[in-house]
């Protein structure tokens, strides 16, 4: 069995790694974590459906788009807690638009 992933799927995976930083840019530190999670889920869902739409091949599969959305959400959560948060990128992203008092 050989696996052949198109360029759209790889780009979608890369976007899903960057999504937690995007959520950090549009929220603040005092934003409820549940709100951040819902925003990440919404962006991941959009990512999954756009990747399936952009992927070459015969037809559009809603099931594949849903699986891609779940993979994007899982990748986003794992990259947030495993990479972006320990390095400090998540905090700097949230502080990037705050004004000094």
Rg (CA), the chain: 15
Q: How far is CA 43 from the centre of its chain?
A: 6
Mean pLDDT (the chain) is: 83
Rounded Cα–Cα distance for residues 48 and 40 (Å): 12
Q: What would the pLDDT profile of 8-25 be if each residue is shown by its tens digit?
A: 888 888 999 999 888 888
Whole-prediction pTM value?
0.80
The answer to whether residues 17 and 73 touch, using CB atoms and an 8 Å cutoff, is no
Which residue bears the tokens 């599969």?
A: 61
Rounded Cα–Cα distance for residues 101 and 99 (Å): 6
């Amino acid at each position: 069995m050989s696996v052949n992933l198109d360029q759209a799927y790889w780009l979608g995976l890369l976007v899903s790694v960057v999504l937690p930083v995007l959520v950090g840019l549009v929220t603040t530190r005092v934003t409820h974590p549940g709100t951040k999670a819902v925003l990440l889920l919404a962006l991941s869902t959009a990512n999954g459906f756009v990747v399936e739409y952009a992927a070459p091949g015969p037809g559009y599969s809603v099931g594949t788009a849903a699986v891609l959305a779940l993979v994007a959400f899982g990748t986003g959560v794992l990259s947030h807690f495993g990479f972006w948060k320990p390095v400090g990128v998540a905090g700097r992203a949230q502080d990037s638009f705050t004004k000094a008092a």
